[in-house]
């Protein structure tokens, strides 16, 4: 089988070659209790990032893009399979626990992929790359939580593995504006930065 030529970094999105990835958009991360504990994160997620993710999801589904969710979820009840970092920070959601559910605003549709992960980059603790190669995906739109942690690590790893990475700057967030902007500035060399409206326009143009 002849592979299509790689797309240039700024080429418009082609839905049949694209996965929209939602990182850790789950009840254990974004929940009412976060409003007091993490006010910037909660408000920016509620008012901007989550609504933009929902719009991007709708456009991607209509265009036929692959939709993939990751959730922080150990494979074992005591979390012994977690990365060292997750163990040292005591970050653990048991398999099947309520905290692992994708938030209602971004509820997965039938036949969409949900991958449990136990590391910052999903490339290190899931079969995401294997799945994308099987499906024929070479472009990944990365959204979710947190911009300067799991989003950052995933963008860099994906670029190194030969995927065209795209980050919608208004469909991810973290604990402060400074951290968000700093992360985007740090990893912009590994991906295309765009806003949600631009990517939706490209997806709609192909339907």
Give the separation between CA 9 and CA 163, rounded to whole angstroms.
10
Q: How many helices (H) and strands (E) does the chain have?
A: 9, 7
Sign of CA dihedral 16, 160, 181, 26: positive
C-alpha pair distances (Å), 188 with each of 9, 11, 70: 11, 16, 22
Phi/psi-derived region of residue 162, left when phi > 0, alpha when psi is between -120 and 50, beta in every other case: left
Going by C-alpha positions, the residue among 179, 134, 137 that lies closest to residue 20 is 137
Whether the predicted model's global pTM rises above the 0.85 cut = yes
Q: DSSP class of residue 79?
A: -
pLDDT digits (tens), the chain, 207 positions:
556 666 777 788 999 999 999 999 999 999 999 999 999 999 999 999 999 999 999 999 999 999 999 999 999 999 999 999 999 999 999 999 999 999 999 999 999 999 999 999 999 999 999 999 999 999 999 999 999 999 999 999 999 999 999 999 999 999 999 999 999 999 999 999 999 999 999 999 865
């Amino acid at each position: 089988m002849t592979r299509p030529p790689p797309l240039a970094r700024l080429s418009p999105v082609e839905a049949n070659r694209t996965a929209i990835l939602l990182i850790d958009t789950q009840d254990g991360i974004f929940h009412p209790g976060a409003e007091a504990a993490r006010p910037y994160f909660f408000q920016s997620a509620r008012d901007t990032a989550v609504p933009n993710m929902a719009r991007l999801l709708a456009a991607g589904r209509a265009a036929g893009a692959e939709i993939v969710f990751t959730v922080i979820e150990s494979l074992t009840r005591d979390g012994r399979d977690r990365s060292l970092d997750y163990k040292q920070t005591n970050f653990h959601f048991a398999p099947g626990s309520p905290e692992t559910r994708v938030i209602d605003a971004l509820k997965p549709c039938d036949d969409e992929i949900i991958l449990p992960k136990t590391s910052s980059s999903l490339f290190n603790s899931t079969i995401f790359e294997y799945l994308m190669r099987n499906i024929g995906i070479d472009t990944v739109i990365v959204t979710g939580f947190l911009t300067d942690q799991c989003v950052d690590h995933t963008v860099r790893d994906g670029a190194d593995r030969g995927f065209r990475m795209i980050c919608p700057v208004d469909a991810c967030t973290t604990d402060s504006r400074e951290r968000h902007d700093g992360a985007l500035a740090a990893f912009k060399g590994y991906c295309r930065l765009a806003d949600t409206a631009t990517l939706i326009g490209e997806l709609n143009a192909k339907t």
